[in-house]
Amino acid sequence: MVNMRKLRAEARQAATGRGHELKKFSHLYGSAAGSYAVASCRLCRAQVRVEPYPAHNSASIWGEAVGLGCPGTGWNSATMQSAG
């Protein structure tokens, strides 16, 4: 069984590493594949989604908050570091 708490912690760590400040995860039910959780950045509204049982061609953790730096903190995705 997949540990949703562990996936949320990994997603938060990845997003924080890119300068995002995530709000609390909202646990949502009812998708065709099952449950998932979503959180957004307080500064730029980028989202991260956690799915314990993703499709075969998808990832358990995905979204702009784990793929791009936060413009609200001056994060530079090209250099992978904060401007400050």
* pLDDT single digits (tens) 20-36: 999 999 977 655 557 88
Report how far residue 70's alpha carbon sits from residue 43's, in angstroms, rounded to the nearest whole number: 8
The pairing of strands 75-76 and 34-40 is unpaired
* pLDDT single digits (tens) 34-76: 788 999 999 999 999 998 888 889 899 999 999 999 988 876 6
Angle at 58 between CA 82 and CA 36, to 5 degrees: 80
pTM (whole model) above 0.95: no
